[in-house]
Structure 1
Amino acid sequence: MENSVNGQMKKVFAVFVLFALTASMLFAVAPQAKAQDYVEWKTFAYIIVSPNPVGVNQQLIVQFRIDKTYPGGTVRGPFWEGFTVRITKPDGTVEERTGLRADSTGGSWFIYTPDQVGVYKFQTIFPGQWVNTTTPKRWYAPSQSRIVEITVQAEPIPPYPDAPLPTDYWERPINAEIKGAWQIADNWLMRGYDYLFRGFPGATAFAPYADAPDSPHILWTRQLWFGGVGGGKFGDKSYYTGLSYEQPYEPIILNGRIIYTEHDPAASGNIIGTRCLDLYTGEEIWFLDGVSITCAQVFDIENPNEHGLIAHLWSMSGPATSGTWTMYDAFTGRKILTIENVTWGGSQLVGGTTVFGPSGELINYYIDNAKKRFIVWNSSKAIFAAFPWIGGVQGAIYSPAAGAVIDGRLGVQLNVSIPDYLPPLSTGYPILGGEGVIIASAQDQSKYPIVYIHVAFDAETGQVLWVKNRTNIYGMWHRPSENVGSGIYVLYDEATTRLHAYDIRTGEEKWVSEPLNTLGENPSDFATFTRDYHIAYGKVYTAGFDGHVRAFDAETGKLVWDFYFGSSGYETPYGTWPVYAGFTIADGKVYVTNDEHSPDSVLWRGAKLWCLDAETGELLWKISGIFRNVAVADGYATSVNSYDGRIYVFGKGPSKVEVSAPQVAVTVGTSVLIRGKVLDMSPGQPNTPAVAKESMAEWMEYLHMQRQCPQEVKGVPVDLYAIYPDGTYNYIGTATTEPLAGGIFSFAFTPQQEGTYTIIAVFQGTESYGS
């Protein structure tokens, strides 16, 4: 049977060969005719492997390609297919990566980890490919690259050396070769760092990346509007602070610039315009007349053509389902485009539904109660859809056209139904977002305790995760934390002065704190007005009218530390100094100020900006002033002081060192007096003496707040070195400056060699000054 089958196969083969020969004789002109149906293109294959040499078990980048891109291809395809990269190891074994596909550039890459010491060989093999979309058709012929040899050694090769992060005085821009600078540098893009509106009623903020000031050193000040005592027949009455509702100063900080909107003191709707100031000098860079900027945006563009960050500013207005957003260039303030019909939830008093996506895109969450819809809107989707660029391919390039008006409905990325059984839910505050969950709320005030209904949605799909009725909150007001963190969100019950923590994924109550009006030194029932709390560093931080700042363990609800401002005597009606408008957490520190909703025209005294250690509650520094809604970026903090109506920027400033020695010859063994100065060169007080951190607050209050000059001020250390006549470099001692004597220092030095000495004074810098 086997022979029979083989015999049949041979017959078939013979017939085929005979037919083929016959056909070639009958149609001798066919090859010429078919040659006109397609064109053969020669290809050239390449292989690039790096680094060379490399250590065993270190990664190699293997790039394969041919010299041509696919005709008519886009970033979506079609692409060259079927590449093989042949790898010959030092022991002679061959490994092949097959079925590889190029991208729109004609090639691609993969990571390979060699596991043997010796010489590896790499080669690209392109199998050839038909392209039928051209006229005539094309056959791209097979090709092979040259063989590339890579030396794999036993010792690992070192990484590119990192430049150390700056610890001295520094400014933006940060050179892109300094990797890791994200650990100390950050922007403040929204008024509440990562939410649009901070306002006045207990809006806290947390900046997880930025450095923040370690001393109350003032870099500069600038008058925002009239402030301080009016005088004359008005006695000690001061100018209106705007603390009740208007909020005088809610800055954005972007790449070394402060951007804020000015308005009339008693009417926040009367917009004067938006100013852009240099963070380091206070000098004005540009002004947008009549424009209110809501937030900034840093958008990470990653597509085949563009890679990097683009900065925009946004002015937002209009109702919840048909808002108008206008984009501006952040560097120049120039208007770019407008998006109409934006679904965004509208302007909220505090918090809100607009957040940043993973690439910096602006994402809005909106609940349409009438239509029972959960809607997610994406700014980048609207822009990419409006300007698709190549062949209708979205995402190929980011090109928002100047002067364009975009239909915001292009930005809806999710629109799903929600269950009919849900009650009408809040479309703004209090709606919480974080850790992939959106929580909306409703109230049933027909019962007591009031039933607070919380509904959790999956932020990606809109699916309802859980619904919970909170029936153990006795206060008329329940105040949610401004954020979700550590897997929980928190409510405060003003009636019982207790915190309630809930699991963000299940909605189950995790813990209830002890009553705040029973905790710490001199507890007070003013703890009922604890309007400020935020989750960060695994803790829940609180502050209120009782003069206490507290930290609770986010996992257990146990009190970790308690800081008390102390007694205010007769100066305030609270027995201490209250906290109303929210604190700022950054760089392992809590910045909290004393203020209230509507202070009298004769302001009470003793308010301060306090800087506390977030881990221990230890006081790090304090300075006089009512500094509401502190914003932090790049090691600086800024706020307006309601005692004088001036903008303040706190942080490290530049310094200058001067040194002199007698320019006359002296005999060996004779003492000479070295003199010099260390001066603060900050724009706010240039050429004034540098002082130690311990004296900084009093010194700054003297220079900027019309306080008396302190009777005792500590100076800063100066290290002195000498280059001896024999060329050696020697430390000769440390002197301390005398700020009350103009910042001078002096040091007696006795030379022991004949010849000329060069004296060098080195100020190493402090928390307040660069070197």
Structure 2
Amino acid sequence: MMKNKKIATIALALLLTTAMVAFMPSAVAQKRITPYIYIGAIPNPVHVGDEVLFHVGITLPCAWPQTGWKGLTITLERPDGKTETLGPINTDTTGGTGYLYRPTLVGTYYAQVNFPEQVVEVTTQGVPAGTIINAGVSDKLALIVQEEPLEYWPGIPLPTEYWTRPINSQFREWASISGNWLVGKGYYMDMNCPGNDDAPEAPHVLWAKPLVKGGISALGGGLAGGTIPYDFEYGDAYEGLFGQPVVIGGVLYFNRYKADGGTAVEQEVVAVDLHTGEEIWVRDWNRTRLAFGQVFYWDSYNYHGVFGYLWTTVGTTWHAYEASTGRWAFSIANVPSGTNLYGPKGEILRYNINVAAGWMTKWNSTHVLTQTRVLRYGPLDQAHGSWIREYMGTTLNGTLGIEWNVTIPKGLTEGVPPAAGPATIYLEDRIIGTNFSRAVFAPDVLQVWAISTAPETKGQLIFNVTWPRPRPDTRMHISAASVEDGVFVIVAVETAEKWGFDINTGRLLWGPTEREDYKQAWSYTTGYSWDFIYNGKYFSQGLGGQVFTFDVKTGKLLWKYDFVDNYHEWTFGNNWFVYSAFIADGKLYIYPAEHSPNNPQARGAYMACINIETGEEVWKLNYWGTVWGGKPVIGDSIIAALNEYDMRVYAIGKGPTTTTVSVPETAQPLGTPVLIKGTVMDISPGTQDSSIKLRFPQGVPAVADESMSDWMACVYMQFPRPTDVKGVWVTFDVISPSGEWKHIGGTHTDSSGMYSIPWTPPSEGLWTIVITFPGSESYWPSYAETSVLVTAAPPPPPTPETPQIPTPPDYTPYFIALTIAIIIIALLVVYILISIRKVRKA
């Protein structure tokens, strides 16, 4: 990384230097001149053990085709007294260049450039050809090497919130999440999609748009209705809707109309912002159709840049259009037949092999231009420093793209033509051929051979082996191959048994595997589904409705996934047909489809995301794919897929949210509970469509990942609103009047997106309330703040005085005296009565 940064910096400086020198007055021609020799160091000081870039040369540039000054050296005096000589070093045409060195000692180094005597070959800056430049040395440069580390560019972390294009070019780390999609997947292609390290882990829909404005969409797609209880056409019996989708730089490109009619009918290519679903442009390219894309890095001494192209093909003529504008750039005629491969810088390669005649060729799209210039300017002209420039708006001769033509060993055999096979496989550094294919019963003895296409060994035989056919009366087929994993796999079509072979020797490694569902044979004979190898695993899947994943080195079954039809709608079995879309970020994305499906369509099918390490289903979403149209694609970690259930293009990815919070606006006395409430809502671009707004006038609530599948079906497909929707978690924090941050807790939103939290502030002052939705696999995070003023509690009301009540007189003594008197009287009465009774008796 540091090396590239330093070289880029010095290159810019050299270009500026050249521009300045170009305006200097011409020197008087002379037989000998004295050079002005320079040396610089970047950085200086430098941390011990880090690279330093010496900038060396002379101030006089060369004129093309003299490519630079030769044989410079650097004398380096080290802090330990020893001397090193670095070089020899050749400059470029600017007169200078860079040389990397890594000092290992702390202290001061002294560096001096030695320029040897040499001749000016081409007149430059008024110095005539034949002039001798004297030998000389530069001043000594002191290079300080220190123990203290230097500060370097810190890097930019991956985004933690919703992001869009363009991506600032300084954010190089973001390359891991901003991949492109150039051509549909197929046999022997890398099913992994680098640059999508944030591939969807939940089925959240960003937007859903009609495939055709004013066409199928005007009729609604899906169910026709009324007295015709069937669906509008799917375009899946060769017609091919959503054809050849491409993603470059966060833009989705596709053919708007079906393939039928070709150039005899209207054709349009559409560019759509993958993040928002907004149409960017629509182009009619002379009624031709988008075939594939290209992201090509031109890297020369004069110009460095990435070019994005969209290609159409008409016979053997290719037309390149700028991905940014859709404008025609140039064409290539007489392109040879073959399978497209992409080179290390995005150049398009094609190999052709003739086993009978014993030759093999390599065609390179970039070579077409370079050889065109060679014929016009010669091999050393400065025009070679630029890309297409003077050939914009022209048609180049594709026959000039043959980079090499080599002989190969004779005696190799080849099966039926690839259209019925394939019997020949084109990989990144070799071609594998066979004498059998899926089209016909295999011979008794199978032959497999491999020829190298690597630069240093091109045309050499890697292996040529034979193998007795393991099963009688069956077709045999190479189902998958991977140079990186070192294995290719042969399958017996009728039984779906597999055998693994070493891709470097042809030696049998393992097999057979167990037989699979009989419908797997249909997969291998039709070619609509294919096996593949990735990261030490061999994935076998297809019309049998299962995914089998094996250890590619041993053939051991690691896991199996059943693509179950839960509602018994499918007429071919209990599992849906399996089509693999791609692998991204350690996940396999599969979907159901069928050549010329029934109408009305089988119900309840779904796209599924599977963890490739465990076979566990991560998520699923109601979906039916296409066989003849465009398959699901991914770019910028966003999936785009045509759903035949309603004929709309769906974008699946992490969406933006908005969080709100409110509290009473008036001051609250200390000790009074405060009701905090708000919402967390999904504000993805699709939620802004009028059809969604009318159904969700208060907005679309954000929901938990585990509820996402049913919720998205409700929001975008009008399924009934689920009754068990779970909300999202929000956290509750406060900032005290003194500035102290305090975490209080959290809660879940409900199915409407609302939350409410009662809270009693513990002290007076202005409290800031922060509600945060931390995000999920479906959504980017969001937060909201508000504040509440807490005032002193009001004083308690005064206690009313107790009225003075007069003390009543104490009559107790009177009551006692009265009681005694009554008792005495009673006793006297009793005594008198007794005395009277006695008198009478007497």
Using a 3 Å threshold, how does the CA distance of structure 1 residues 373 and 288 change in structure 2: closer, same or farther?
farther
* 2:583 alignment partner, one of 561, 582, 585: 585
Contact 1:295 1:313 in 2 (8 A): yes
Task: Tell me how far apart the structure 1 counterparts of residues 236 and 367 of structure 2 sit (CA, whole Å).
Answer: 38
What displacement does 1:284 show? 1.1
Taking the TM superposition and a 5 Å limit, the aligned residue runs for 1:130-529 are 130-131=119-120, 133-134=122-123, 135=128, 137-192=130-185, 198=186, 205-211=191-197, 212-225=199-212, 226=216, 227-235=221-229, 237-249=230-242, 250-264=244-258, 272-289=267-284, 290-318=287-315, 323-345=316-338, 353-368=339-354, 372-387=358-373, 392-393=379-380, 395-400=384-389, 401-424=391-414, 426=417, 430=422, 431-443=424-436, 453-460=447-454, 461-469=458-466, 471-472=469-470, 474=472, 476-481=474-479, 483-485=481-483, 486-517=485-516, 524-529=517-522
Q: What displacement does 1:452 show?
A: 5.1
Shift in Å, 1:726: 1.6
Residues 675-719 of structure 1: per-residue CA shift (max 9 Å, x gap): 111111111124311111000010000011121000021111222
Is the CA contact (8 Å cut-off) linking 1:474 and 1:495 kept in structure 2? Answer: no
Deviation (angstroms), 1:634: 1.6
- Hey, what's the Cα distance between the residues in 2 that align with 1:569 and 1:186? 37
- The verdict on how the C-alpha distance between 1:37 and 1:337 changes in structure 2, with shifts beyond 3 A counting, is closer
Please state if 1:122 is matched with 2:111. yes
Give 1:558 deviation, angstroms. Answer: 0.7
Deviation at 1:43, TM superposition (A): 1.9
Question: Secondary structure of 1:647's match?
Answer: strand
Q: 2:231 aligns to what SS in structure 1?
A: coil
- How far, CA to CA, are the matches of 1:208 and 1:99 in structure 2? 40
Give me the TM-score of the superposition, normalised by structure 1. 0.86
Could you say what secondary structure the match of 1:374 adopts? strand
Give the match's secondary structure for 2:714.
Answer: helix
SS in 2 for 1:95: strand
Query: 1:48 — aligned with what?
Result: 40
Q: Secondary structure at the match of 2:144?
A: strand
CA gap 1:533/1:324 in 2 versus in 1, 3 angstroms: same
Matches within 5 A, 1:681-696: 681-686=683-688, 687-696=699-708
Q: Distance in 1 between matches of 2:664 and 2:373?
A: 71
Helix, strand or coil at the partner of 2:669 = coil
Q: Quote how far apart the aligned CAs of 1:622 are.
A: 0.5
Quick one: structure 1 residues 736 and 256, their matched pair in 2 at CA, closer, same or farther if it must change by over 3 Å?
Answer: same
What is the identity, as a one-letter code, of the residue corresponding to 2:513?
E
Distance of 2:387 and 2:299 partners within structure 1:
9
2:655 paired residue number: 653
Q: Is the 8 A contact 1:83 1:98 kept in 2?
A: yes
How far apart, CA to CA, are the structure 1 residues paired with 2:537 and 2:585? 14
Q: Do residues 755 (structure 1) and 761 (structure 2) align?
A: no
* Structure 1, unpaired ranges of 5+: 1-35, 193-197, 346-352, 518-523
Deviations 1:574-623 (A, max 9, x none): 33232254332111001111222221112111211010001110110001
Distance change >3 Å, CA 106–CA 491, structure 1 → 2: same
- Correspondence for 1:11: none
Aligned residue for 1:708? 720
Q: Which moved more, 1:86-95 or 1:368-377?
A: 368-377
2:84 to 95, 102, 105: 95
Q: Using the alignment, how far apart are the partners of 1:356 and 1:119 within structure 2?
A: 48
Aligned to 2:532: 534
Partner of residue 765, structure 1: 775
Question: Matched residues in 2 for 1:203 and 1:124: separation?
Answer: 50
Counterpart in 2 of 1:13?
none
In the TM superposition, residue 572 of structure 1 has moved relative to its aligned partner by 1.7
Q: Distance in 2 between matches of 1:532 and 1:684?
A: 34
Q: 1:184 to 1:697 in 2, by over 3 A?
A: same
Cα gap change, 1:722/1:68 in structure 2, threshold over 3 Å: closer, same or farther?
A: same
Q: Which residue number in structure 2 is paired with residue 636 of structure 1?
A: 638
Alignment partners' CA distance in 1, 2:473 and 2:172: 50
**Is 2:736 the partner of 1:734?**
no
- Could you say what secondary structure the match of 2:733 adopts? strand
CA RMSD of aligned residues (A): 2.7
Q: Which amino acid aligns with 1:163?
A: I
Whose Rg is larger?
A: 2
1-side partners of 2:609 and 2:440: how far apart?
A: 44
Residue pairs, 1:16-31, within 5 angstroms: none
* Residue type of the alignment partner of 2:728: V
Give me the whole-angstrom Cα distance separating, in 2, the residues matched to 1:482 and 1:248: 28
Whether the aligned pair in 1 keeps the contact of 2:580 and 2:589 (CA below 8 Å) is no
How many Å apart are 1:568 and its aligned residue? 4.6
Q: How does 1:670-689 map to 2 (within 5 A)?
A: 670-686=672-688, 687-689=699-701
Report the 3-state secondary structure (helix = DSSP H, G, I; strand = E; otherwise coil) of the residue aligned with 1:251: strand
CA distance in 2: counterparts of 1:109 and 1:406, whole angstroms = 36
Take 1:79 and 1:120, find their aligned partners in 2: how far apart are those partners? 27
Q: Which letter maps to 1:754? A: E
Alpha-carbon spacing, 1:737–1:450, altered in 2? closer, same or farther (3 Å): farther
Please tell me whether residue 58 in structure 1 is matched to residue 70 in structure 2: no
Distance change >3 Å, CA 619–CA 572, structure 1 → 2? same
Q: Secondary structure at the match of 1:734?
A: strand
Deviation at 1:548, TM superposition (A): 1.4
Give secondary structure in 2 for the equivalent of 1:230.
strand
Shift of 1:566: 3.4
Q: Deviations over 1:241-270 (max 9, x none)?
A: 223333322311111100111333766776
One-letter identity of the residue aligned with 1:718: V
* In 2: Cα distance, 1:466 partner to 1:697 partner: 50
Measured in 2, the distance between the counterparts of 1:42 and 1:549 equals 74
Change (3 A) 1:94 1:370: closer
- Structure 2 unaligned segments of length 5 or more: list them: 1-27, 524-528, 689-698, 782-842
Shift of 1:203: 9.0
Distance 1:533 1:705 in 2: 32
SS at match of 1:80: coil
Distance in 2 (CA, whole Å) between partners of 1:151 and 1:447 is 74
Q: Is the 8 A contact 1:611 1:620 kept in 2?
A: yes
Distance (whole Å) between structure 2 residues aligned to residue 691 and residue 243 of structure 1: 34
Contact persistence 2:682–2:701 (CA under 8 A)? yes
Is 1:202–1:581's contact at 8 Å kept on the other side of the alignment? Answer: no
**Partner in structure 1 of residue 840 of structure 2:** none
State the Cα distance separating 1:158 from its structure 2 match. 4.9
What amino acid does structure 2 have at the position aligned with 1:95? E
SS in 1 for 2:531: strand
Tell me which moved more, 396-405 or 648-657. Answer: 396-405
Residue identity in the other structure for 1:744 = M
* Structure 1 residues 262 and 219, CA gap change in structure 2 (3 angstroms): same
Give the aligned residue type for 1:761. Answer: I
Alpha-carbon deviation of 1:624? 0.9
Question: Which secondary structure state, in structure 2, belongs to the residue aligned with residue 718 of structure 1?
Answer: strand
Deviation at 1:83, TM superposition (A): 2.0
User: How far, CA to CA, are the matches of 1:410 and 1:132 in structure 2?
Assistant: 31
In 2, are the aligned partners of 1:532 and 1:583 still within 8 Å (CA)?
no
In structure 1, how many angstroms separate the alpha carbons of the residues matched to 2:189 and 2:172? Answer: 33
Give, in angstroms, the shift of residue 136 of structure 1. 6.8
